Chain A
Amino acid sequence: MKSNLRKIFASRVFIGGAAAIAIWGVLALLIAAGIFSRSMQSLLIQICYYVTLALSLDLVVGYLGDLSLGHAAFYAVGAYSGCAFAVYTNLPLALKFIGGLLVGGICAAIVGFLISCAILKLRGDYLAIVTLAFGEFVRSIVKIIPGLGGTKGLLGIPSFDSRVVGFTASYIVLVLVIVAIYNFTHSRHGRTVTAIRDNAIAAESVGINIKRTKVLVFTISAFIAGLAGVVSGFYKTSITPGDFDYNVSIEALVMVVLGGMGSIRGTVIASAIIVLLPELLRGMDEYRMLIYAIVLIAMMMIKASPKCRALKEKLDGKINGFRSRFTRKRAK
């Protein structure tokens, strides 16, 4: 039985790993060979960090069930601290990137930890509005911190000369984040998170520490948002406070909601679609924001309508049938 289980996990890891490498291989080849247009290449990198950002928000919105409208704040803290590290240190580029990721992630995580400790008592609407306010507050604070360039922003962030390298670096961060989130959500810690989302009182009755779990999720989520910020900074080479306003939080929320909330796969696909949307809807630029709004409303309606719920259950049934075939093997 032991070897059997190992094999299954091994094969899952194998499939995932192989898929990740294959996608990278294909994309990197297409970039290197110049088959991808330049704009497509730049969009690919953007997809990497937008997906990372959306996944971090998904942890809070989809898995924990709390609405954060201030994820731009963690994104900003990560971007500013990580990029400032890269600007003000004298290291080889690779080390600047890795160091920047660590610094950005950790600074964002610290902020996420502190803010989540402070807002533990709040739920629902209040939590949403406090995170929104916090996001705006961070944006105005960033302007007066010396060394971050004030209103003009932090300029001269190092960047990867080679597009293949730039893409690869962003892609590796994304894949690591996906693996980490998958592992986390499929562990006992992840189960407590979804339990709190589904029924906080019941979770408490079986001895789950809601406060500690919430702080944990916010901290992890902030860390990942921080990573996204650093990757974005290395791509953009300059970041300004305006890059981190309320609209960024909303855009990430649209990605999460479109992805079905609480689904890694869904979030990845939805984020990619949203980033590519201007390409997909050429000539309809004016309607893009309108589409975001409609996506938000429509997804919620679909979720609430009984007909669609029935359809979803049918689909879930199929997936579960599939899953039980897999798990029955495990039980043997």
Chain B
Amino acid sequence: MSMLKVENLGITFGGLHAVENLNLEIEKNELYGLIGPNGAGKTTVFNMLTGVYKPTTGKFWLDGEELTGRSSIEINRKGIARTFQNIRLFGNMTVAENVLVGLNNQMRYGLASSFLRLPGFFKEERDYSKRADELLAVFDLYDERDTLASNLPYGKQRKLEIARALATSPRLLLLDEPAAGMNPNETAELMNTIRFVREKFDMTILLIEHDMRLVMGICERVTVLNFGTELASGETSKALNDPAVVKAYLGD
């Protein structure tokens, strides 16, 4: 059974079909790419998969459990985490706190413990800040753990977003243009990080990307979208050489 199954997913905004009839099957531990020109509806797909938008048609399942139309919160708890195209960090909180927010739903101590600093508070805070530190170390952010997130350089902000998403212990990670705004060096480093994340956390990753080098470098399979419909899908090199795809990218 595939990890994520998407069937006939579609959404309309005011009569306009933003995404139509999308089908996807992503296997466990796979690195899957969702690519396409600007305005092809890639981020809209992410928004549907994370419950920000409710799809008008179609359904999707995670490990066989249908999640169509659930709220963002529920979907996250079921195991889908994401990053954003325009970075959305908690800018006035420290790097460590950003990750701790991601860990929040695993923490158990109640309001009374918060207010009265009962023993549970100390135990959990200690355990989870250790886990946060471990996660940060993976992304090479440990030294900045007490920096305000908004003060991080751009590349590190992207990494922090991934770390925060991972902190929610997802099964499926959605990365929205992780390499946007990065120079080639940073992109190469990012590729390594993504691969490493997949190995270390046994993660399934679906990513949106413009940078073809990155896509070709790490994605096993891709789906190409144009004007909300699927142009091609399959193994990366094959799909990218599909005539329809070439036409869409290069024009006639």
Contacts and interface: CB of A to CB of B under 8 A. Distances in A.
B164 interface: yes
B244 interface: no
B52 A183 contact: no
Nearest to B46: A205
Given A187-B121, A206-B164, A198 B100 contact: no
A188 B100 contact: yes
Given A190-B114, A191-B100, A320-B148, A205 B76 contact: yes
A202 B176 CA distance: 13
A324 B146 contact: yes
Interface in A188-229: 188-192, 194-195, 197-199, 201-209, 216
Contacts of A192: 101, 104
Interface stretch (B32-40, B54-62, B77-85, B206-214): B77-85
Contact of B148 (A205, A316, A324, A330): A316
A307 interface: no
B89 interface: yes
B90 to A, nearest CB: 4
Contact size range, B: 35 or more
Nearest to A201: B88
A187 B164 CA distance: 18
Contact of A199 (B72, B89, B151, B167): B89
Summarize B's interface: helix, strand, loop or mixed: helix
Interface string B138-180: 0000000111100100000000000011011000000000000
Contacts of A199: 88-91
Interface in A1-43: 2, 5-6, 9
Interface string B11-54: 00000000000000000000000000000000000000010100
Nearest to B82: A205
A234 B81 CA distance: 52
Given A5-B126, A206-B76, A207-B105, A327 B90 contact: no
Interface string B187-227: 00000000000000000000000000000000000000000
Contacts of B168: 206-207
Given A187-B121, A207-B73, A331-B133, A320 B94 contact: yes
A327 B146 contact: yes
A190 B125 CA distance: 13
A316 B117 CA distance: 26
20 contacts: A9-B117, A183-B115, A184-B115, A187-B109, A188-B104, A191-B93, A191-B104, A198-B93, A199-B90, A201-B84, A202-B84, A204-B72, A204-B76, A205-B81, A205-B84, A205-B88, A206-B81, A207-B77, A208-B104, A316-B151
The 8 closest A-B pairs by CB, nearest first: A207-B76, A187-B114, A202-B88, A198-B90, A324-B146, A204-B72, A195-B101, A207-B105
